[in-house]
Chain A
């Protein structure tokens, strides 16, 4: 489970002054559900997810991931999560197998368990043909599969996806979406950030709309439609983030 309470992140910039990357963001994600964090570029999605992934420390507020506090127990939080983002790249000179094994070892897995786990993941993700090929030689789809295997190697309870389909072709993006669904099917707690409305409609059980660092609205797709009186999610989004719109 993920529970965020008034999560706030303030960046200080010598030129622009104080910037609120996330402002009093609160939400809750239950196991076996997908929570969509919907927002335009620069809205605060990545900042929020980086705080949940303990990559950034909240300026104020708190969050618990799988029962561990992100500020006081960051190492234990990271042991419970799989973090996949467009910006999380692979080591070009390692093979797919070495990449997965490296993160397994960093998660404290023993060699025997690791070998078995790589075997399972390789089969599930159909990676047998390229498992021993260097990442720099892999196609985009193969790289994504390797990244997925990397996030799953320690079988985390919580999955955090930060715009994972950004810049991917249709087929690879579909595979990712399918994988996210499977995570939900396995009872994992999933948070998924995107600015692609169709992805949110296809995947998410609940959606939080984030704009200028603040969570403007939250609910199921049906609740958001009812609240805005719009059938199309894109129209819902525009109405919610429009200047002067009621939170």
Chain B
């Protein structure tokens, strides 16, 4: 191995790549915009949609309950509902979003309430539909409050204290520091995108430096030089790895900058309760360290696939299924309830996704971290060895 030759090949590839707009987009611009755009853009969009939906006074329908006019009057008086006249096709109207929810009041409801019986009110909504869900929530709150008032009145009528129906209160308090809360909230999604971006960042350079060179005829030109094959492949591989790491670092840097801007612009109130916007910096460093062997693994696998291909088109047809192979284990890692164990610590990609989630939420299982780092580094070394072997094979380089 000749370090000077490897550096010569690497620097040439770096210069060549930095002049290619498409690669720059996949390596830097895309990842830099992707994570903040996705996390905060979608978050903002969701907030706007939900708050707009909350502003709307929902149209609801009372099914039957004609003998309980007090309920209707209270619902109207609350100002939180627009009562629609009862109709036999109420289900159809909910499906068509003309009415958001309905409440079925049983006959003799008010009388039963006074007598201390336990009549059942049934609430109807269209599950999965946001505005219908909000209307249901409003109706539930109304009837819960009504129940509590009725209970209090029944107790008072009998000369009993209100605490008899509520002998103790239940309170909740968080003991996790804000950065752990943020880590838990972002812990699932951040590793998912970082791992995925380390694949995306390596993709275009790998295709261009292997299959692209074959297609354009520059591979043969390069092979005519006295540079050893191993030096050439290592120089090119380092460039593919650079693409992968560039994508990861641009994403993390832009995410960090966005978090900083959000917290700074949110004012002192948000600073006092950082919640979502606080992540333990050690967790971020841990994730970056774990992503390093993953980036080597992705770069080597992508480079090997692109080397085998005769053309860019063929290479793309190999790389697309690889994307799905990566997305699935990473997505499994994001699912709640999946916990790291020794067997999962040996499953490539999934193991990194799980351990990153733990590190961001402040849990450091050093044994697993060692196993995962070591096994991923081993897979990466094997993939890189395959690249070198393939590059030395004329059957691969001159495949027709």
Contact = CB atoms under 8 A, between A and B. Distances in A.
A57 B319 CA distance: 30
A196 to B, nearest CB: 21
Contacts of A39: none
Contact of B16 (A76, A94, A108): A94
B398 A106 contact: no
A173 interface: no
Which of B9, B20, B226 counts the most chain A CB atoms within 10 A? B226
14 contacts: A57-B394, A75-B226, A78-B224, A85-B220, A88-B224, A89-B216, A90-B221, A91-B12, A91-B16, A91-B218, A93-B20, A94-B16, A98-B15, A108-B4
B397 to A, nearest CB: 8
A93 B218 CA distance: 12
Nearest to B5: A106
B174 interface: no
B229 to A, nearest CB: 9
A88 B220 contact: yes
A11 to B, nearest CB: 9
Contact of B218 (A56, A76, A89): A89
B52 interface: no
B225 A107 contact: yes
B263 to A, nearest CB: 41
A76 B394 CA distance: 18
A107 B226 contact: yes
Contact of A78 (B4, B16, B226): B226
Given A88-B220, A90-B218, A92-B216, 15 more contacts: A55-B224, A55-B398, A87-B217, A89-B218, A89-B221, A90-B221, A91-B16, A93-B20, A98-B15, A102-B12, A103-B225, A106-B8, A106-B9, A106-B225, A106-B226
A94 B228 CA distance: 22
Contacts of A94: 12, 15-16
A240 B347 CA distance: 64
Given A55-B220, A85-B220, A93 B16 contact: yes
B77 interface: no
B228 to A, nearest CB: 6
Interface of B: 4-5, 8-9, 12, 15-16, 19-20, 216-218, 220-228, 394, 398
A94 B17 CA distance: 10
Given A56-B394, A88-B220, A89-B216, A79 B226 contact: yes
Dominant SS at the B interface?
A: helix
A53 interface: yes
A204 B341 CA distance: 73
A98 B16 CA distance: 10
Interface string A68-109: 000000011011010101011111111000100011011110
Contacts of A55: 220, 223-224, 394, 398
A188 interface: no
A124 B135 CA distance: 84
Contacts of A81: 224
Contacts of B20: 93
Contacts of A151: 224
A60 to B, nearest CB: 15
Nearest to A80: B226
Interface string A2-19: 000000000000000000
Nearest to B215: A89
A44 to B, nearest CB: 14
Interface string A176-199: 000000000000000000000000
A180 B72 CA distance: 102
Interface in A18-66: 50, 53, 55-57
A150 interface: yes
A75 B228 contact: yes
Given A94-B15, A102-B8, A106-B8, A83 B218 contact: no
Nearest to B217: A89
B208 to A, nearest CB: 10
B217 A88 contact: yes
Contacts of A90: 218, 221
B220 A78 contact: no
B224 A105 contact: no
B221 A88 contact: yes
A89 B20 CA distance: 18
B19 to A, nearest CB: 4
Nearest to B218: A89
Nearest to B397: A55
Nearest to A91: B218
